[in-house]
Amino acid sequence: KHFCIALIYLLSFGAVKAQSTDANMGIIPAPVSVTKGVGEFVLSQETVIAADSLDNKAVQFFISYLKDKEALRNPVKANNGNQGNNLIVLTSVGTDGLAPEGYRLTVTPQRITVAGKGTGLFYGIRSLMQLFPPEHGATIKLPCVEIEDYPRFGYRGLHLDVCRHFFGVEFVKKYIDLMASYKLNTFHWHLTDDQGWRIEIKKYPKLTQVGGMRAQTLLGSYRAKGAQYDGIPYSGFYTQDEIREVIKYAADRYITIIPEIEMPGHALAAIAAYPELSCDPERTYKVAETWGVFDDVFCPSEKTFSFLQDVLTEVIDLFPSKYIHIGGDECPKEAWKKSAFCQQLIKKLKLKDEHGLQSYFIQRMEKFVNAKGRSIIGWDEILEGGLAPNATVMSWRGEEGGIAAAKQNHNVIMTPSSNGLYFDHLQGPRNIEPLSIGGFAPYPKVYNYNPVPAVLSADQQKYILGVQANLWTEYIATEDKVEYMVLPRMMALAETAWSPLAKKDIKDFDLRLPKHFAWLDEHGYNYRVSKAIGAV
Ligand code: TNX
């Protein structure tokens, strides 16, 4: 009798577990609907790719993936999707009813069909790629299934700070690859800050020559007493050709890059290069060698406005994105309080105080960006002193800024540091984790975050465009550490950004993770081994 009970227990446990992993076929982010079929499709050298057109980014991406895997030697064919067996059909036929970015993936023993338009076709292919076993021989077996899928949010972002520490083009591409693998679609590239200006601007060469280099870097935490520096100059920037190369690379993977040019704060690198942009041009400035917030910020002078307009003109010519991020965070008002020019300007413009001046600053820049057919994004401080009329708000100091902006009918991207979306925060106990800025953001916190605050009405909730995680790199000097901090948290982010709320289930996510760790190993990514497979 006991044997029977034990057997039933074992069987049912096994079944639950199997059903759990199978429920989403191991795919991250979990698709909207998955119906398991019977049997498998055997991919061999005889398999033919049949696409509406071979002149398609998604199709080309898949063909080169199969060639890399040596899974495809046969010629590919266009426009024969309806004939024969042993086919992988990539098509936009029959996709009229699909949601934006949506796809349908059908695997039968005879053929695989991925149906989707543009981005949708690409995401269908990505899901199909996740069905591939990590290791395989000459033939690849794929389980039969029917998947229908589309994202919860149109904005699914990941950020990288390349100012505090610089990361070269090859690594940025590897980062973008990771995003594309998990259906994230927006890369927020933080290009300027106090500790370094990292984008070539033709009209102002000193931005990168002077502003791109700091004399040395602080060692250890900037909050610790007794600062020590490494004494080693640190530099790096992207040429405009490199920027274009990365934009194209991202576009081929259906990722938009939003550049960020910080103003009026976090501007010390620019001011070190061009002191006339500060409120006290007689002083000399140096690129910051430590972390934190600095009092030396752009002065709201005509000189600064024409400088920033020139910079944004070059930036807008390079980046095709709808949005240009102009920062707006952490701008101390000390320099403006001390400046006679600023005090007069406040009177002349009949502003209340320095916050009004910051709002004036952002609104002027918004007008310029809007006139060029683009829109601005700013950190939530741009609410202070009044929002610029068309601005989108990135809510980072909790959700309050985002809630206030949505109530004012402004678009919002949620990226609250309080809810696990700061990937520079700790993933586990401080005593076993590498040095970080602080905060606690283990991946379940990222996973369980819901970007739509319940306090908003249904109408207001529509202003939440999506969600983003940020990686600030004060304490992240190496590529290995970037990957460690981002993985596996970005997979949890991807599921938060993509999967319907009703499908979110961290137990099931945990069961899917090990397969993805194997995939990360295969592709040479570093990651934190999580609780899911037995570590702390
Ligand atoms: C705040 S988030 C900042 C960054 C820092 C980060 C460290 C934001 C808009 N500003 O400048 O790197 O905290 O977590």
Q: At residue 503, does pLDDT exceed 90?
A: yes
Q: Which atom of ligand 1 is nearest to 379's Cα?
A: 9
Q: At residue 306, does pLDDT exceed 50?
A: yes
**Which helix (H) or strand (E) covers residue 444, if one does?**
helix 443-448
CA count, 13 A, side-chain hemisphere, 283? 11
Is the link from the previous residue into 133 a cis peptide, with omega within 30 of 0?
A: no
Protein residue whose Cα sits closest to atom 2 of ligand 1: 396
Q: Give the highest mean pLDDT range of 470-479, 509-518, 526-535.
A: 470-479
Tell me the best of 188, 419, 472 to mutate to test the pocket of ligand 1, counting ligand atoms within 8 Å of each CB and taking the most. 472
CA–centroid distance, residue 245 to ligand 1 (Å): 27
* pLDDT the model gives residue 91: 95
Q: What is the mean pLDDT of residues 188-205?
A: 98
What is the tens place of the pLDDT at every residue in 239-248?
999 999 999 9
Protein residue whose Cα sits closest to atom 4 of ligand 1: 472
Say if the ipTM goes beyond 0.90. Answer: yes
Protein residue whose Cα sits closest to atom 6 of ligand 1: 472
Measured CA distances, 267 to 288, 298, 330, 381 (Å): 10, 6, 11, 16
Strand ranges (DSSP E) for 170-289?
Answer: 186-190, 192-193, 196-197, 213-214, 218-219, 228-229, 234-235, 256-263
DSSP code, position 31 = P
Q: Which residues are paired to 180 by β-bridges? A: none
Measured CA distances, 236 to 209, 350, 477 (Å): 9, 42, 13
CA–centroid distance, residue 396 to ligand 1 (Å): 9
User: Would you say the CB of residue 291 lies under 6 angstroms from ligand 1?
Assistant: no
User: Would you say the CB of residue 479 lies under 6 angstroms from ligand 1?
Assistant: no
Q: Which atom of ligand 1 is nearest to 329's Cα?
A: 9
Nearest to 423 by CA among 410, 433, 437, 411: 437
CA–centroid distance, residue 125 to ligand 1 (Å): 36
Q: Which atom of ligand 1 is nearest to 425's Cα?
A: 14
What is the tens place of the pLDDT at every residue in 17-47?
444 457 899 999 999 999 999 999 999 888 8
CA–centroid distance, residue 475 to ligand 1 (Å): 12
Protein residue whose Cα sits closest to atom 8 of ligand 1: 329
How far apart are the C-alpha atoms of 96 and 116, rounded to whole Å? 9
How far apart are the C-alpha atoms of 124 and 51, rounded to whole Å? 13
User: Would you say the CB of residue 422 lies under 6 angstroms from ligand 1?
Assistant: yes
* pLDDT the model gives residue 77: 74
CA–centroid distance, residue 260 to ligand 1 (Å): 13
Measured CA distances, 415 to 81, 187, 259, 497 (Å): 43, 13, 17, 11
Instruction: Judge whether 130 and 523 are in contact, CB under 8 Å.
Output: no
User: Would you say the CB of residue 396 lies under 6 angstroms from ligand 1?
Assistant: yes
> In the numeric block, which tokens belong to residue 453?
């605050």
At residue 81 the predicted structure's pLDDT band, cuts being 50, 70 and 90, is low
How far apart are the C-alpha atoms of 378 and 401, rounded to whole Å? 11
List active site positions. 330
Per-residue burial over 358-369, b = 16 or more CB atoms within 10 Å of its CB, e = otherwise: bbbbbbebbebb
Protein residue whose Cα sits closest to atom 12 of ligand 1: 472
Instruction: Judge whether 104 and 124 are in contact, CB under 8 Å.
Output: yes
Q: Which residues are paired to 469 by β-bridges? A: 158
Instruction: Among 18-32, 122-136, 294-308, name the one with the lowest average pLDDT.
Output: 18-32
Instruction: Judge whether 391 and 369 are in contact, CB under 8 Å.
Output: no
| Helices 489-498, 479-486: crossing angle, 10 deg rounding | 50
Instruction: Judge whether 209 and 237 are in contact, CB under 8 Å.
Output: no
Phi, psi dihedral angles at 161 (to 5 degrees)? -90, 115
> In the numeric block, which tokens belong to residue 419?
């809810």
Residue whose tokens read 């083009």: 169
Q: Which atom of ligand 1 is nearest to 424's Cα?
A: 14
Protein residue whose Cα sits closest to atom 13 of ligand 1: 472
CA–centroid distance, residue 443 to ligand 1 (Å): 20
Report the percent of the chain where pLDDT is more than 90.
84
What is the tens place of the pLDDT at every residue in 429-459?
999 999 999 899 999 999 999 999 999 999 9
User: Would you say the CB of residue 187 lies under 6 angstroms from ligand 1?
Assistant: no
CA angle (67, 70, 76) in 5-degree steps:
45
User: Would you say the CB of residue 330 lies under 6 angstroms from ligand 1?
Assistant: yes
Strand ranges (DSSP E) for 44-94?
Answer: 48-51, 77-78, 87-91
If you average pLDDT over every residue of the chain, what do you get?
93
User: Would you say the CB of residue 329 lies under 6 angstroms from ligand 1?
Assistant: yes
User: Would you say the CB of residue 307 lies under 6 angstroms from ligand 1?
Assistant: no
> In the numeric block, which tokens belong to residue 362?
């952002």
User: Would you say the CB of residue 376 lies under 6 angstroms from ligand 1?
Assistant: no
CA–centroid distance, residue 472 to ligand 1 (Å): 7
How far apart are the C-alpha atoms of 435 and 441, rounded to whole Å? 14
19-149 in CATH: which number?
3.30.379.10
Q: Which residues are paired to 146 by β-bridges? A: 35, 106
Provide CB contacts within 8 A for 231, sequence distance 6+.
216
C-alpha Rg value of the chain to the nearest Å: 25
Edge-to-edge strand list for the sheet holding 140-149:
33-43, 140-149, 103-107, 111-116, 87-91, 48-51, 77-78
At residue 531 the predicted structure's pLDDT band, cuts being 50, 70 and 90, is low
Q: What is the mean pLDDT of residues 5-25?
A: 53
Q: At 317, is the secondary structure helix, strand, or coil?
A: helix
Phi, psi dihedral angles at 115 (to 5 degrees)? -115, 125
